Amino acid sequence: MKESEEIVKLLQQLHSDHNIAGMKRFGIASDKIYGVSVTTLRKIAKTYKKNHELALELWEIGALETRMLATLIDEKEKVTKRQMDEWTRVFDNWAVCDAACFNLFRYLSFADAKVYQYAKSNEEFVRRTAFSLIAGMAIGVKSLDDSVFIPYLDLIVNYSEDERNFVRKAVNWALRQIGKRNKFLHKEALKIAKQLKESENKTARWIGSDAYRELTNPKIIARIK
């Protein structure tokens, strides 16, 4: 039996209608879903070596959980721009989108270029990918220079009026995480948050107000290096 078939068999055994109902309440839905928790998926992924071909097979199966596993198992050195585009194009929920960004995409050498490409898309989850990538890079890619993040603040302003739920939340998330990266970026992000919270646009105002509230929290400020 192929490894991908073994994994599907295991997911079928772990199927949970209760978990599926809970996931739907959090906006996580897909045409194929088993209701397996992220914690369990991470445990499953650890039993397999990094394997690009297996990741591609799991992705093609199309279930939410097999795609989450694909983002955990894939080898970042072998991911191409075409693959990234193909995966991003079929995102149908925020969970897989964010898993791909955090587990895989943010570490790719061409992630920065993809941020600008995906932000221009009118597709909700493609645009979300751009801002989830920014958030992920701000949190976990320590080698990036501050100069990478300053232009992202312009993107945040440019798309701050997109009222679609999964976009506006990602834009807000990106702004908050840039601001929490270090003292310099905190100052720059706070300027943008203040600008947006004074906007006449309802969505931009929400993004700015929420980010400003977090970035002015004394506990958050104390943690910023």
What mean pLDDT is predicted for residues 46-58?
96
Torsion of CA 181, 184, 189, 194, to 10 degrees: 140
Three-class SS state of 103: helix
Q: How far apart are CA 223 and CA 207, in angstroms?
A: 22
Residue 84, pLDDT score: 98
Which residue ranges make up each domain of the chain? Answer: 1-93, 110-225
Where would I find the H helices in the chain? 3-13, 17-25, 38-46, 52-61, 64-73, 81-89, 94-103, 111-119, 124-140, 146-158, 165-179, 183-197, 202-215, 218-223
Tokens of 131: 């801002």
- Residue 25: exposure state from Cβ atoms within 10 A (0-12, 13-18, ≥19): exposed
CATH architecture entry for 110-225: Alpha Horseshoe (1.25)
| Whether the predicted pLDDT of 225 surpasses 90 | no
Q: How far apart are CA 123 and CA 145, in angstroms?
A: 29
**Closest Cα to residue 109, out of 132, 86, 141, 138?**
141
| Whether the predicted pLDDT of 218 surpasses 90 | yes
| Whether the predicted pLDDT of 222 surpasses 80 | yes
Confidence of residue 30 (pLDDT cuts 50, 70, 90): confident
- Residue 60: exposure state from Cβ atoms within 10 A (0-12, 13-18, ≥19): exposed
Residue 147, pLDDT score: 96
Three-class SS state of 16: coil
Residue 29, pLDDT score: 81
Q: How far apart are CA 63 and CA 111, in angstroms?
A: 25
What mean pLDDT is predicted for residues 22-46?
92
Residues above pLDDT 70, as percent of the chain:
100
Confidence of residue 152 (pLDDT cuts 50, 70, 90): very high
